[in-house]
Structures are given as C-alpha cells and as structure tokens.
Structure 1
Amino acid sequence: MNQPEIAKKVARVYTENWGGEPLLARSPGRVNIIGEHTDYNDGFVLPAAIDKAVYVAAGRRNDDRIELKAVEFNDSYSTSLDAIAPREGQWTNYILGVVDQFRKRGHQLGGFNLVIDGDIPFGAGLSSSAAVECATAFALSELFGLNVPREELIRVAQKAEHEFAGVLCGIMDQFASMFGKKDHVVRLDCRSMDYQYVPLRLDGYKLLLLNTNVKHSLSSSEYNVRRQQCEAGVDMVRQKYPEVKSLRDVTVPMLDECVRDTDELVYRRCKYVVEESERLLEGCADLERGDLTALGMKMFRTHRGLSDEYEVSCPELDFLVNAVRENDAVLGARMMGGGFGGCTINIVREDAIDALVNELAPKYKEATGLELTPIIAGIEEGTSRL
C-alpha cells in the first residue's frame, strides 16, 4: 500500500468510527548515514527522513476522553486526560507520553479521537517510535491551535519516549523525522541543536536497507547501559579535565590517559564514540565533494566499531555486512540504529540491487533461518500536515 492510500485509510477508519473530517498528518521514519550512538553524547549525527511514514487522523471531542485506534494492530484503547499512564510494552505509550508532555508544559488539550497507521517496519531501526511521537505531537498542536514550534515538538516527543516508553533516546530520531528535507541529510549538532542540510547526491546508487527481521530484544536495556558506560567514562576524564561535559569534549589521548587502565570496557565504549564523531565530520566532507566511495569506507569502519567495540551488533547484522564487503557494487554497509537487530544500510549501485538481494536472501535464510527483507529508502520531507 502506498502512502496516499494509508492516509485515506486512517481518514476512512476515523470517519467510520466518529464521523466528520479529521485532521491528517504524517511523520517519516529515518535512516542515519553515519554517526551511531553519538547523539546522546552531545556529538554529531547525519540522518535523513525517508519515504516510509506514520500517518494519523485526529479530531477533537466534547469531553475529556482519549480514543485511540491502531489499524496495523487492530487494537483500540480508551482513557481520559487525567488517567493517562504508561502501559508496559504497549503502542499507546508513544501517543499518551506526548499528551503527558504537553500537559506538563502547560499546554491546554481536550479530549480527542486518533487513528494511526503507517508503513515503517517495526523493530527495523528506522525509528517508527519517533515517527509516532512526532506525528502525534504535530497533529495535536495543530488540532488544538497550540502553535508549538517544531523545536519544542521534538523535545516533547523525546521526553515522551524517556518517560512513557522507558528508552533514554537522544534527539536524532525525532529531529530527523520533524526536520527532514528531500534529497538531503541533516548534519545535526546534538549539543547546540544547530543543523545544516547537506545534499545527498547518489548518482546511480541507492540506499538499500536489509532488514534482518531480528527484533530488538536487548536494545532498550542495553541502550541504557551504553549511556551509563559513556557517562562513567566522562566522569573519569573529568577528574583530570574538569571542563569536560560529555564525550563530545573528549579525545582518544584523554581516554588513554584517564580511562584505559581503570576500566577497559568503558574505554572501548568511549573510544568508539569519540572516533565515530570524527568519522562523521570527515564523512560530511566526503559528501560535499561527492565522494561516495570514501563515505562508504567509513561506513564499513563504523560497523566494525559497533560490532567489536560498542558491541551492539548481532550475528545476523554481521553476516549481512560481511556478505557485501567484497562486492564491487556496494560502496559501504553497516548496521543502523540502536542495535541487536533491525537493518543494515547499504550504498548500492542501482542496477545491481536485484542481483544482490537474489544472491543474498537464500544465503541469509540458510545461515539464520530468517527471511531477508529488502527496503529501498528514498529521502523525503519531514513531518507535515496533509
């Protein structure tokens, strides 16, 4: 089903249940070209919004009820504004967490009906959760005339994930979903929130995502552990360099001096992040020159760091990256997202994609027992009203 059809579907489901014409909004998933696990360390990231999105249809009610429907899950949920609370492992957290944040910030909401659907594969590392949060935040701001700036909406979405979903995510996913620009990546400084658009000229290549179909069984808990390890490394460095605020301020020589002999595991975690930040800035220069080959080499190196040093990969992700490493049609590949499943992102010559997938899918099935799902990702605009 293409995106306009999904938009029509959520509108139809809304009207069938509550009548009237709903407000329609969409918010996309994202890819991240390079710069993984740098966002919550005040570093840089290089994401882009993609042509897979979450759609919501929303309308106001005359009472304080919140009525939610998720088309894909064939599930409904009803509560009131004063009774919203997290529900462990439930899709409603990403919506109700946004409502909670609006109210904590003093924004006046009433009751509403909302239908949600989309075509971002869940658990694929494409930030479906951020897309749900951003679509909801944007739609509710529009619906109740709140006029909340996009910069605040992404903070609302991020805090919703922290407090209702229990994932201490950085700001990248929400920022990319809200601020994406067609055919551009966003170089985002996660400390200052300064950003600039960098053209992504693929010229005969495409971004191919290979979904392992492995779900993130460890991602939330281990993600939070990685944050704690990075913070522990910063604390060690700060004892000698009190001006250091985050890994953004740390160099490898500082880690060698202050961390390596104290905690080898924390050292490896922090060293990956520091080097990844340097790789990203060099990768931006590659894009400015149109040198996709150099960028692709950095992607392979990033994967090695994520697998061996940060240890957030898994056998299925490693299999897919190693399988394309010697393929002349593939400029670069790495795991993408929080880890322990999801997709690899590959820069592949357009005319070689079908042959690559046809060769790889049976090998992957034999090695893992899982199906391989290819996704070609186009680069699209961020959150919008339809």
Structure 2
Amino acid sequence: MTPLIRKIENEFKNHFTDEFILVKSPGRVNLIGEHTDYNEGFVLPAAINMGIVLALAPNGLDKARLVAMDMDDSFEIDISGEIPQSEKVWPNYLLGVVDQLRKSGYSLEGFDCVFGGDIPIGAGLSSSAALEGGVLFGLATLFDLNIPPVEMARIAQKAENDFVGVQCGIMDQFVSLNGRAGQALKLDCRSLDHEYYPFNNEDIRIVLCDTGIRRELATSEYNIRRKQCEKGVSILQGVDPDIDSLRDVELAFLFRYKDKLAPDIFKRCKYVIEENKRVLQACSDLQQDDLTSFGHRMYQSHLGLRIEYEVSCKELDTLVDIAQDQAGVLGARMMGGGFGGCTINLVENEQLQQFKKQIKSEYEQQLGQSLSVYDTKVSQGTHLLTESELTSIQ
C-alpha cells in the first residue's frame, strides 16, 4: 500500500497543490450471510486491507476536478447547479456522493481529488463502495460536515442507487465505512443495528479465489431470486399478517405451510431462513474463538447456495470441493451474487502457500482455466491516513 500512497501523493502534487488530506477506504469480504440482506436479515462482513486511497483538497472553485490514477483519466465539472451523469461512468461514483450530500442538506464547495487502489476490479470486493465511502468521508472532513456513521452509509448507498443506477444493498458501504481492524461486523439489514465480533486470529488468513467468471446471468437471476422471496412472503402473509419478510419466518412454520408454496419458492425461503440462523451461530462461534465450527457453517452456506438457492456454478463448486480436501482449510464458500466471482476460504497460515499452489494447479487441471488468488486481513474502515501510519504501513 505504501507505494500506492506515494503515487497518489505525487499525482496530486503534479495536478494541484501540496496541501491535501489522505483517506484510505477499504474493500470488503462477506464472511457469511449471502442473499439475506434484501430479505431484511443478517450479514457478517469485514473490511479488508485492500482498498482505495484518495487525496483531497478544497479548490476555492465551484468545480470538482477528479483524477482516476489507475485509469490515467481525469474529469472536471461545475457542481454549483444540477449535476448530470458522466458518459465516462467512473466519475458518477464520486458525483453521486456530491449529489446526495446536497439533497441531504449539506453544503460543500469545489474540491480536487486523486484516487487509486489495489482492489481487483470485478472480483466482488466492493471497489465502488470503497470509492463512494472514501470521497464521502473525505468531503465530510474537508468541509466539517457532521454526518453520523449510519447516515453516511445511507448517503453512499443512495449515491449508487439513485445516481449511478445500481440497486445495491447497504452492506458494502456500511462495512467499508464502519469496519474495524480485527473485527467482523454483524449488520441487521432491517434496523441497521450492528455489533462487532472478534476476528483477529493471527494464525488464520482470509483467502479469495477469483474464478475470473463474470456472467450477466448473475443480474437477471438475482432479480428472480428477490421476486421469489417476495412471493414466498406474500403467500405466508396470508397465514400470518405479522410477517413482513423472511426474517420473521421460523423454519417449522415454513414446513407447516410447505404445500402452499411452489417447490422453487419453498427452497429459496428455506435457504434464507437457515442462512440467517447460520449468521447468528457464526457470531457465537467467533465469541468462543471456534473457527472450526465457523468454517463448517461456511460449507453449509455454500451447499445451500448451490442446491436450494441455485446461484452457484461449476467453477465455484470446483473451488469449494478442492479447498475442502486441502490441509489447513477451515471453511470455504462462494461469496456474492453467484454464477462467478470469488470463493472465500479460511486458511491456516502455515498451510497458506501450499494451499495457493495446490488450488491454482488443480483448478487449471480440472477446468483448463487460470485462477487469481488473494490473501487478505480484516482491516480498519474508512479513515484519514496519519503520518504515523504512513511510516508504519508495510
């Protein structure tokens, strides 16, 4: 990260001034709790040590002057009036934040921003949320905006929903902004209440295996799954009007009225109810430092996503099967919407290099495809980089 920070600093000085603040905004992993967010359930994400670094300063103008260092591209726009979308796309993640801050009643002036990162694009580690959270935190700092943490997450989410046009949930922005080093964050997606649980075992690494598969099917099937869950809730509400979401349904209740549901609707509902329970049990595992049980729940989660929610694919299943046979692997599952992307694996440090070598080799042997592997650590959420951090970051 240090070379990246130095590049950002130099790039800002070359384009603008020597006076600026530096913000680091992390990507995230979701340890367990997939497809539960839009069902008002629980998720257990964590911020990671891969992220985006932004240099920002007020410019005394009515303009936002933006530089995307990784893309070798720049953009300038007047922000004194209504802000239009950019055809370049990437500026919209920053402009959406400005737009939402204004609509939320916060006043700000023109600013300069240079940013770059080390989050693999498209790997499902939420580079967009990191960018939104980073510029939001930076602007709040520059212009003394007193924005509570939960409201900050809502603003960042609405920037992506309403300006960029991506209908994401709030988990990514929330954990990127509010993550803590050595702790996972349990988020109640209904109330936004959140708690922290220890995830600081130095002998364990979080390893991401990226299939490199990006399928359009993920978006269409995601929308279908949402509608199926809503259909299940609608039918069950006919029995109990107090049911607002699958969060309110017990498994025994679901089985009692199984005949009212089409087979695919029943399977989707069953998975979500069981996954919510797994998240709560996984939190208890972390409290007891029982990563063996935690890893077992990850395997159960993947099985549910594969068989009941039907959002896995051959590549993801192959990776989980390979991981399950490797020494030092406590748990593995697909992470994200499905049909491609990454698996998340808990791997003992002493077996890390062997695991990375073995899973790359077997994946290529079985599927004829190369595999990108990243090992990460649970890290601090979005924050100002201090002078001491700049000298101590490895």
TM range (shorter): over 0.9
d(CA) in 2 for partners of 1:30, 1:99: 23
Displacement, 1:258?
4.8
Do residues 44 (structure 1) and 46 (structure 2) align? no
Q: Deviations over 1:87-124 (max 9, x none)?
A: 57822222121111111111112222211111111111
Show the counterpart of 1:76: 74
Structure 1 runs of 4+ aligned residues shifted over 6 Å read none
Matched, 1:140 2:154: no
Q: Alpha-carbon deviation of 1:368?
A: 3.5
Matched residues in 2 for 1:121 and 1:216: separation?
17
Q: Which residue of 2 aligns with 1:361?
A: 360
Q: Is the 8 A contact 2:322 2:362 kept in 1?
A: no
Greater CA deviation, 185-194 or 214-223? Answer: 214-223
What CA distance in whole angstroms lies between the structure 2 residues aligned with 1:222 and 1:144?
42
CA deviation after TM superposition for structure 1 residue 298, in Å: 0.8
Q: 1:220 to 1:6 in 2, by over 3 A?
A: farther
* 1:191 maps to amino acid: R
Identity %: 45
Can you list the C-alpha shifts for 1:129-154, whole angstroms capped at 9, x where unaligned?
Answer: 11111101101111222121221110
Bigger drift between 287-296 and 257-266 goes to: 257-266
Partner residue of 1:34?
A: 32
Q: What is the Cα deviation at residue 156 of structure 1?
A: 0.6
Letter of the aligned partner of 2:143 in structure 1? F
State the partner residue of 2:194. Answer: 195
Q: Structure 2: give runs of 5+ residues left out of the alignment.
A: 386-394
Q: Does the 8 Å CA contact 1:124/1:341 hold for their aligned counterparts?
A: no
Summarize the Cα distance change of 1:76–1:315 in structure 2 as closer, same or farther, 3 Å threshold: farther
CA separation of 1:260/1:319 partners in 2, compared to 1, >3 Å: closer, same or farther? farther
What is the CA–CA distance in structure 2 between the aligned matches of 1:156 and 1:352, rounded to whole Å?
41
- The answer (yes or no) to whether the contact 2:179–2:185 under 8 Å persists in 1 is yes
Q: Does 1:127 align with 2:151?
A: no
Q: Does 1:276 align with 2:275?
A: yes
Question: Paired residue for 1:170?
Answer: 169
* Counterpart for residue 237 of structure 1: 236
Aligned in 2, Cα 1:326/1:367: closer, same or farther, shift over 3 Å?
Answer: closer
User: Would you say the 8 A contact 1:7–1:55 is kept in 2?
Assistant: yes
For 1:304 and 1:93, how far apart are their aligned partners in 2?
Answer: 37
Shift of 1:213: 1.9
Pair 222,140 (structure 1): closer, same or farther in 2 beyond 3 Å: farther
Q: Which amino acid aligns with 1:312?
A: V
Aligned ranges 1:151-166 → 2 under 5 Å: 151-166=150-165
Counterpart of 2:117 in structure 1 is: 118
Aligned AA for 1:193? L
Aligned to 2:323: 324
- Greater alpha carbon shift after TM alignment, 68-77 vs 210-219: 210-219
Report the CA distance between 1:40 and its aligned residue.
2.0
* 1:298 lines up with 2:302 in the alignment: no
Counterpart of 2:209, as a letter, is: L
Task: Tell me the C-alpha RMSD between the 2 structures.
Answer: 2.0
Once the two structures are TM-superposed, the CA of residue 378 in structure 1 deviates from its matched residue by 0.8
CA distance in structure 2 between the partners assigned to 1:259 and 1:231 by the alignment: 15
Paired AA for residue 94 in structure 1: Y
Kindly tell me: are residues 333 and 238 of structure 1, through their superposed partners in 2, closer, same or farther at Cα, counting changes over 3 Å? same
Closer, same or farther: CA 127–275 of 1 in aligned 2, 3 Å: same
Q: Is the 8 A contact 1:259 1:267 kept in 2?
A: yes
SS in 2 for 1:33: strand
In 2 relative to 1, CA 265–156 (structure 1 residues): closer, same or farther, beyond 3 Å?
same
Amino acid corresponding to residue 197 of structure 1 in structure 2: Y
Which residue among 7, 10, 14 is the counterpart of 2:8? 10
CA pair 315-383 structure 1, distance change in 2 beyond 3 A = same
Any unmatched runs of 5+ in structure 1? Answer: none
Q: Which moved more, 1:264-273 or 1:295-304?
A: 264-273
